[in-house]
Structure formats: C-alpha cells, structure tokens
Structure 1
C-alpha cells in the first residue's frame, strides 16, 4: 500500500525536490501539489491525502491558516510542517495547533520518511535540533496566562517514576512508542499509559510540550 502525500509550498524548486525524494519510496507517492494554503484545503477535500507536507509562509493563505481551515472542516489529515531556520515563532504556533511534526526544508531523506511514518501513525516526531528550537522559543514567548505546574509553582519539579523518566527521555530523542516499548520490554499500551501519567504530572497534552517542560526543569537532556 502506498500513502498519498499532498505537498504544499509556494516554491516550485522545493516541491520538485520533495517529489524526487518521495518517488524513491515504496510507501509514498505525491497525490497533489499546491502553492498556497487556500488551494491546499481545496485539494485536501478532493484528494483525501494520508498526510500533508505544509509550508508556513505562503501567499493567499498561510500554512497556519490552512491548518485552521482543515480543522474547521473536520479533515483529520496529519500535517507535517516544512520550515526554515528563521520561523521559530510560527513553528511553536503550528505545534500548538496540532501539527504532527516539523521538517527543515533541507532535511535528509531518512528524516523525511521517519517523520512521515510517524505522522501516519498519529504520532508527533520532532528531531532533537527542532525540539531545542521549540524549547528556546517557548521560553521567549512564555506568557503568565499559560498555566502549568512549573509556571504556577516557582521551583516546582514534578515527581516522575524511573520508568516515566526513561519514556520521557526517549521521546525527547524522537523515539516511537513502539520502539520504546521494545527497548523497555513492555507493551506499547503501557508506554502510552506512562505518557498519560507524564502529561498529567506536567500539565501538558502533547509530547512536544512535555519535552519542553521537562527540559526546562532539567528532567531530560538533548
């Protein structure tokens, strides 16, 4: 089975480069292309792709606006954002909106496929260098109105079990739940249970947010 990919980027060269890479895969093929968010939403409805590679800065409609439109139309299609080194703030916003991963436009082939594979499974995969950017930007943009155990209680460090710490460190490195389960000798369901406990203790609702808080508290290192 091959999964359908919709490429959304206003630069022809970027779209062509991604197409060339995807053509080497036995699992993915390019079902469509769009040069702006408006067309992306239209094609998403028509083509029903399995995953979307979405640029952030585009004319007519941005990638973030397109993600909002997809959600408003109840199109539950995983989105992987294509970004550059100077779009840190937009990356954080996209993550908060539910994007399943980020790829720098010069990402290596193996990173592209790993991120797509993760998005198809409904998981969020961030490379360590991207996670570091998200963390730094989060600190810069942190607002008093954003409640979490670490922000509402100065000096508070959540108490995690040893296994929860292992799981948290593993997701900080971008490891999949399946791989974590194998390495720890436990079931994937148990890994997900650990993640739920971690989210509750840290006051977050995503892997990326959990890692960001954990890094801030010195619970994990990249």
Structure 2
C-alpha cells in the first residue's frame, strides 16, 4: 500500500510539479491538494494522509498557524515544510512547532523522496547546505545583538557533538559509528538534549540550537 501525501500550497504550479514527481513513485500517492491552511485542516481529517507537504505563506491561514492547529488538535501527521531561500525565520519556527523537516520548492526528485521516507519513519532529514546559511545568519545576529550566551554550558561535550551531528543531518547509527559508541547511547544523549532544551524532536532541537547559537557548520 502506498503512503498517502497531502500537498498544501497556494500555487498551482508548485502543487502540480510535486504531484508529477510523486506519481512516479511506487511508494507514494498524492491523495489531496489544498491551497490554504483552512482547506488543509479539513483534508487532514478527511483523508488521514501519512505525510503533509506544507507551504508557509498562504492566504486565509498560513502554514505556521496550520501546523500549530494540527498540533493543538492532536493530529500527529508528519509535516515537511515547503520553503524558499528567503524564509529562514519561518522555517525555524515551523521546526520549533514540530515539523519533521523542510524542502526547497525546486528540490530534486531524489531528495524529495529521501525527505518523505524520513518523515514517514518519524525521522528528520535536514539539508546541511541550507542550514549552513541559516546558522551563519542566526549566529551573526546573536553575536551582534546579545552578550555571550550561557546556553552552551547546558549541554555536555558529547551532547554538543551529537547535536552538531544532528544539524548536519546524520542519523543515530551514523553518529554512533563516528563517535565509537552504541546507537542506544546516542539515543540516550538525544533524550538528555531534548530534556535540557525543552523539546521532543530532532527538528525542534536543531531549531532551538540555531536560535541560541549552539551549533555551527564552519570552523572559521
């Protein structure tokens, strides 16, 4: 049985393009399309999709408000944000609300399906090249606008390593191999990170880390 996908975007061309790609898969099927958040909320209940591709800027009800309402209604459908290069702040807020990841609207077929696969598994797949831009801009704002932040003292050295690896998009098994520890230990570190940051998912942890300047992708 194919996984059901709901596409939410106010631009017909974007919806149609994603639909054409998804229909080439033998694992996914588009079961519905919505052009705003109001319609998305209704279809999420009616169609019970396995994953939602959610635009952020839409008329009547935007993506962030829709994600928030789905969460309040305890409708736990994995959500992948559809974004553009100039929507960094909105993307971070979406991750904080529990979105499983994000996709650029002009993303390629391979990455689209990798992200869908991760979302339906309950994992998070982030694109390091995009996160690098977000991290750099956020870090510059924190450096310019605030005194040195004490938050980086909250996490242990190993927890910071794990958080940094998550930001690069690595999975628990890969992190365990690189650190020379068991996957169970990595998951224990993740639990501690979640508790300390007050989050319950990888995407939320990364979003908080971006805002607090806890992670960076460049040494310089």
Give the shorter-chain TM-score range: 0.7 to 0.9
Q: Which residue is 1:25 aligned to? A: 25
- By how many angstroms is 1:15 displaced? 0.7
Three-state SS of the structure 1 residue aligned to 2:99 is: coil
Describe the shift of the 1:62–1:220 C-alpha distance in structure 2 as closer, same or farther (beyond 3 A): closer
1:108 aligns with 2:82: no
The CA RMSD over aligned residues, in Å, is 2.9
TM-score (norm: length of structure 1): 0.80
Aligned to 1:130: 130
Contact 2:118–2:125 (CA under 8 A) maintained in structure 1: yes
Decide whether the 8 Å contact of 1:171 with 1:211 is kept in 2.
no
- The count of aligned residue pairs is 210
Q: Which runs of 5+ in 1 are unaligned?
A: 143-149
Residue equivalent to 2:206: 208
Whether the aligned pair in 2 keeps the contact of 1:22 and 1:29 (CA below 8 Å) is yes
CA separation in 1, counterparts of 2:211 and 2:16? 37
Counterpart Cα distance in 1 of 2:111 and 2:33 = 21
1:197 aligns with 2:195: no
Distance (Å, rounded) in 2 between the aligned partners of 1:46 and 1:141: 42
**Corresponding residue SS for 1:53:** strand
Deviation at 1:105, TM superposition (A): 0.5
Secondary structure at the residue paired with 1:82?
Answer: strand
- Residues 116-174 of structure 1 show CA distances to partners (whole Å, capped at 9, x for unaligned) of 112112222210122224324544776xxxxxxx72x38x556644x545533432221
1:49 corresponds to: 49
Q: What residue in structure 1 maps to residue 168 of structure 2? A: 173
2:83 counterpart of 1:86: no
Whether contact under 8 Å (2:78, 2:119) holds in the other structure is yes
Q: Which runs of 4+ in 1 moved over 6 A?
A: none
CA distance in 2, matches of 1:54, 1:36: 9
CA deviation digits over 1:46-87, x for unaligned, max 9? 001011000111111111111122112211111101011121
* Contact preservation (8 Å) 2:132, 2:217: no
Relative to the length of structure 2, the TM-score reads 0.81
- Report the Cα distance in structure 1 between the residues aligned to 2:153 and 2:18, rounded to whole angstroms: 42
Instruction: Write out per-residue CA displacement over residues 6-30 of structure 1, whole angstroms, 9 at most, x where no aligned residue.
Output: 0001111111111111112222111
Contact residue 101 and residue 115 of structure 1 kept, 8 A: yes
Q: Quick one: distance in 2 between partners of 1:136 and 1:171? A: 17
